[in-house]
Structure 1
Amino acid sequence: MRKRGRAIYTNYLGKETVFRKDFVGWLKHVAKPLFGDSFVAPDPFPDDGPLEFEIQGVPTDQEPHDSARYDYNFTSLNLYSYDLWNNAFNPFTLPEFLINAAEPPSNVQIFNESRHALSRADTARQFHRYLGGNQPTEQFTIVITTFDRDEMLNSTLKSFHKIAYLNKIVVVWCNEKRSPPRNWPQIQVPIEFVSAPDSLNSRFIPFDNIKTEAVLSLDDDIVLSHEMVLFSFRVWRENRDQLVGLVHRSTKYSAGHPVYEPNGACQFSLILPTSAFLHKTYLEAYTYQMDPSVREHVDATMNCEDIAMNFLIAHLTKKPPIKTTLYRDFK
Structure 2
Amino acid sequence: MCKPGDKLRIHIYPDVKKDSSVIISETYQKILNVIRSSIYYEPDASKACIFVSSYDTLDRDPLSPDFQKNLPPFLPLDNGKNHLVFNLYSGTWPNYNELDFSDFNPGYAILVKASTSYTHYRPGFDISLPLFSRSHPEKGTTLSVMSNTVISGTGYDEVNIGNAAESTVANSRTNLLVFKGKRYIYGIGSETRNTLHHLHNNKDILIFTTCKHGKKWKEWKDERCIHDNREYEQYDYFTLLSNSTFCLVPRGRRLGSFRFLEALSYGCIPVLLSNYWVKPFEDVIDWSEIVIEGDERNLLQLPEILRSIGWKKIAKMRSQSIAIYETYFSSVERIVLTTISVLSERIQSQLSLNSFMWNLVNPGFTSFHGAIWFDGDFSYNLHDYPGYRNSNSFTIVIYVNRAISAANLHRLIRVVSKSQFLSRIIIIWALPISSPLFIGRNSVSFFKVPIELIIPKIKTINAKIYPYEAIRTDAVLNLDPESNLSAEELDFAFLVWRAFPHRIVGFSARDHYYDDVQSTWFYTSKWTNQYSIILLDAAFYHRYYSWIYTHHISTNIALNRENNENLEFNDLFNNDMLTDDSLCLDLVFNFLVAHITREGPIKVTQRKKTSNSTLTDANTSKIESFKFHKKCFSTLINSTFGYLPLIKSQMRFDPILFKDPVSNLRKKYRKLEQMK
Q: TM-score, normalised by structure 2?
A: 0.32
Note if contact 2:533-2:590 (Cα within 8 Å) is conserved in structure 1.
Answer: yes
Contact 1:263–1:329 (8 Å) recurs in 2: no
Instruction: Report 1:167-206 matches (<5 A).
Output: 167-175=423-431, 177-184=432-439, 186-196=446-456, 197-206=458-467
| Cα separation, 2, equivalents of 1:192 and 1:90 | 25
* d(CA) in 1 for partners of 2:479, 2:395: 11
Which residue of 462, 469, 477 corresponds with 1:208?
469
Would the aligned equivalents of 1:218 and 1:273 in 2 still touch at CA under 8 Å?
Answer: yes
d(CA) in 1 for partners of 2:555, 2:599: 23
Q: Percent identity?
A: 25
Indicate the residue corresponding to 2:489 in structure 1: 228
Counterpart amino acid of residue 415 in structure 2: S
Equivalent in the alignment of 1:316: 596
Given that 2:507 and 2:608 are in contact with CA atoms closer than 8 Å, whether structure 1 keeps it comes out as no
- Structure 1 pair 149–325 and aligned structure 2 pair: CA distance change class (3 A): same
Letter in 1 for 2:587: I
Question: Are 1:97 and 2:392 counterparts?
Answer: no
Alignment-derived partner of residue 289 in structure 1: 552
Q: Flag the structure with larger Rg.
A: 2
Root-mean-square deviation (CA, aligned residues, Å) is 3.5
Match of 1:140 in 2: 394
Hey, what does 2:572 align to over in structure 1? 298
Any stretches of 5+ residues in structure 2 without a counterpart? 1-123, 127-340, 362-366, 559-569, 612-676
Give the letter for the 2:448 counterpart: Q
Separation (CA, whole Å) in 2 of partners of 1:291 and 1:220: 24
Distance in structure 2 (CA, Å) of the matches to 1:294 and 1:6: 25
* Superposed displacement of residue 187, structure 1: 0.3
| C-alpha deviation, 1:208, in angstroms | 0.5
Kept after mapping to 2: 8 A contact 1:294/1:308: no
C-alpha distance in structure 2 between counterparts of 1:227 and 1:220, whole Å:
18
Give the AA of the match of 2:525.
Answer: P
* Distance 1:241-1:8 versus aligned 2 partners, 3 A rule: closer
Distance in 2, Cα, partners of 1:282 & 1:231: 22
Higher RCO, Cα 8 Å, sep 6+: 1
Answering whether residue 555 of structure 2 is matched by residue 307 of structure 1, we say no
Cα distance, 1:273 vs structure 2 = 1.3
**1:95 touches 1:281 (CA, 8 Å); kept in 2?**
no
CA-CA distance at 1:290 after TM superposition = 1.7
Please say if residues 232 and 245 of structure 1, whose CA atoms lie closer than 8 Å, have aligned partners that are also in contact. Answer: yes
Picking from 530, 537, 543, the partner of 1:267 is 530
Q: Distance in 1 between matches of 2:602 and 2:585?
A: 18
- The C-alpha deviation readout for 1:39-73, integer Å capped at 9, x for no partner, is xxxxxxxxxxxxxxxxxxxxxxxxxxxxxxxxxx9
Among residues 146, 149, 156, which one is paired with 2:412 in the alignment?
A: 156
Q: How many residues align?
A: 239
Equivalent residue number for residue 11 of structure 1: 348
Q: Aligned partners of 2:531 and 2:379: how far apart in 1?
A: 39
Cα distance, 1:9 vs. partner? Answer: 6.3
Tell me which residue corresponds to 2:605: 325
Give the drift of 1:190: 0.4
Task: Give the distance between the partners of 2:591 and 2:513, measured in 1 at CA.
Answer: 15
Distance of aligned partners of 1:267 and 1:6 in 2 relative to their CA distance in 1, 3 Å threshold:
closer
C-alpha distance in 1 between matches for 2:421 and 2:373: 35
Specify the alignment match of 1:125 in structure 2: none
Distance apart, 1:140 and its partner CA? 0.5
1:281 and 1:83, CA in 2 relative to 1: closer, same or farther beyond 3 A?
A: closer
1:168 counterpart SS class: strand
Deviations 1:248-283 (A, max 9, x none): 112224452544333312211210012000000000
3-state DSSP class of the match of 1:159?
helix
Paired residue for 1:2? 125
Aligned AA (2:399): T
CA distance in 1, matches of 2:465, 2:369: 16
Q: Which amino acid aligns with 1:319?
A: E
Task: Tell me: CA distance 1:274–1:190, structure 2 relative to 1, closer, same or farther (3 Å).
Answer: same
2:478 to 203, 217, 241: 217
> Partner amino acid for 1:316?
I
Could you tell me how far apart the structure 2 residues matched to 1:83 and 1:230 are? 29
Distance (whole Å) between structure 1 residues aligned to residue 342 and residue 510 of structure 2: 46
How far does the alpha carbon of each residue in 1:134-193 deviate from its partner, in whole angstroms, 9 at most, with x for none?
A: xxx600000001123242322211112322011000001112x23433223620110000
